[in-house]
Amino acid sequence: MDLSDNVIYGEIPEELTSLVGLQSLNLSKNLLAGRIPSNIGDMKWLESMDFSMNQFSGEIPPSTVRLTFLSHLNLSYNNLTGQIPKSTQLQSFDESCFIGNELCGAPLKKNCSANGVIPPPAVEQHRGYHLLEDGLILLFSFQIVAIFAMATNFQLLCLIFSIALSVLLRPNFATGSSIGVCYGMVANDLPPPREVIDMYKSNQIGRMRLYDPNPEALEALHNSGIEVLVGVRNEDLQQLADSYSAAENWVATYITPYLPQVHFRYIVVGNEVSPGNSARYVLPAMQNLQNALSSGDIKVSTSIATSVLGVSYPPSAGAFSQDTIEYMVPIAQYLNNIGAPLLANVYPYFAYIGDPIDISLPYALFASETVVVTDGGLSYDNLFDTMVDALYAALEKAGAPQVQVVVSETGWPSDGNGEVTTPENAQIYNSNLISHVLSSCGTPRRPGNSTETYLFAMFNENMKPGAAVEQHWGLFYPNKSQVYPINFPIKRLKHKTWFQKLMQWIIQSAQSAFGKHIYGHN
């Protein structure tokens, strides 16, 4: 059973261990917390178990010594503590299977204290939810499979159940991980990074954008489960473009030491680089950094302003301007080739204040009750989608139709420009944006694909230069109180009846496959 690399919250239900015939269990790269079930050893036929890169705490259950068929084990990068249970089986694994925890004893070189225990660190309980409708549904799923496990053709049943879970785990049913928040630091009164990371976790914010590779922030991100976009400063672009060794050194300094405890999503090479001399360094810097990365899982990109478009209305006419086309087209095509997205800072606020006569405030705030723009057969009721689709049209014209747009900044200021910038308007925009993104409806030009989006910003930043409004984009004050109420909800399964029908299908499939009633043998 492979449920790895999702964003599943909560604790493992004890009922999972009733799947005594299971041979492989992979729950890695999730946000699971709490203790590993004490009776995990009941799953005596397990040959492979991977719980790495979660937030499990407490000791490794002593019952694991009964897993005598294990040939693959990975418990690395959790919050596990204490002595590794002694058995010939567990001590035969490499120490890399246990690193990233506060564990001691063989096969680790770290000896245990006299009582065999390392004092456990304080572990914050996760304020998350199970991925499905609620914990009972996830529990119900495991109970059904436990019943099925009594049937003779267990492998076929696992296949049926895996197909069902793969449907449930599509992005449409994932948590609110499509939403991140930018962590700007242009201030002299912000809380330390470790407290900021705790704020992200307690508010269920699963992604972060950092504008530079701040070492203290990267250290605080260790084993947090938060995915991070890390930026390359504009002033570093020329050196990284001119020297591959400089790119190797950058990766060796800011990326490699933090792997795999920190989940890097993208490296953002430059932010809103203006047309001119600096723009020509963006692509070669991206290429050098991508080549310097030993892991193909981390992609490079760059973050642009929507001002790179010469035409943005109607959305289908979107095209890069004459000033930017020379460097944007090669960048777009490179991203298309490596399978990376284009990051864009999309601000309906600035579009509105630049043209308040032709753009209505409800249209900018996701509050319009009617279609405002019709472009061919596509209808738009919010400005955000219009701006994103203009970027998609420009990418298509540039020969990069496969490139996804990631909105690397968006938001609404809460003060600094009269009645337009109020906490009420900021709350309306950001709350409606979150709901829109989590609906997974996408944009009219790219329907069905949730637009990965990062709100700007986590805090009001008192040292940002420019107009007064620049210091009032935060969701929180530096004292960690909210500027206005905002939630990052976990998406829940919308229709319980849909889930029930899926369970009925599983039961019917099992009955058909086995030719017997699932509750017992004939």
User: What residues are labeled active site?
Assistant: 272, 409
Distance separating alpha carbons of residues 506 and 502, to the nearest angstrom: 6
Residue 227 near residue 233, CB atoms below 8 Å: no
Could you please report the per-residue DSSP string of 372-407? Answer: -EEETTEEESSHHHHHHHHHHHHHHHTT-TTPPEEE
Question: Tokens 């910003």 sit at which residue?
Answer: 457
Residue 171 near residue 440, CB atoms below 8 Å: yes
Question: 475: Cβ–Cβ under 8 A, 6 or more apart, which residues?
Answer: 181, 430, 455, 457, 458, 459, 482, 483, 484, 486
Could you please report the per-residue DSSP string of 296-357? Answer: TTSEEEEEEEGGGEEE-SSGGG-EE-TTTHHHHHHHHHHHHHHT-PEEEE--HHHHHHH-TT
Distance separating alpha carbons of residues 7 and 207, to the nearest angstrom: 11
Distance separating alpha carbons of residues 412 and 213, to the nearest angstrom: 26
Distance separating alpha carbons of residues 352 and 345, to the nearest angstrom: 15
Angle at Cα 404 formed by Cα 398 and Cα 407, nearest 5°? 110
Query: Which of 60, 32, 38 lies closest to 117, judged by CA?
Result: 60
**Omega cis (within 30) before 107:** yes
What residues are paired with 430 via a beta bridge?
A: none
Q: Which helix (H) or strand (E) holds 163?
A: helix 154-168
Distances in Å between the alpha carbon of 327 and those of 143, 212, 323? 56, 23, 9
Query: Which of 30, 38, 43 lies closest to 60, judged by CA?
Result: 38
Distance separating alpha carbons of residues 194 and 4, to the nearest angstrom: 27
What residues are paired with 345 via a beta bridge?
A: 305, 409
Distance separating alpha carbons of residues 295 and 52, to the nearest angstrom: 18
Distance separating alpha carbons of residues 137 and 134, to the nearest angstrom: 6
Q: Residue type for 238, please?
A: Q
Backbone conformation region of residue 433, classed left if phi is above 0, alpha if psi is from -120 to 50, else beta: alpha
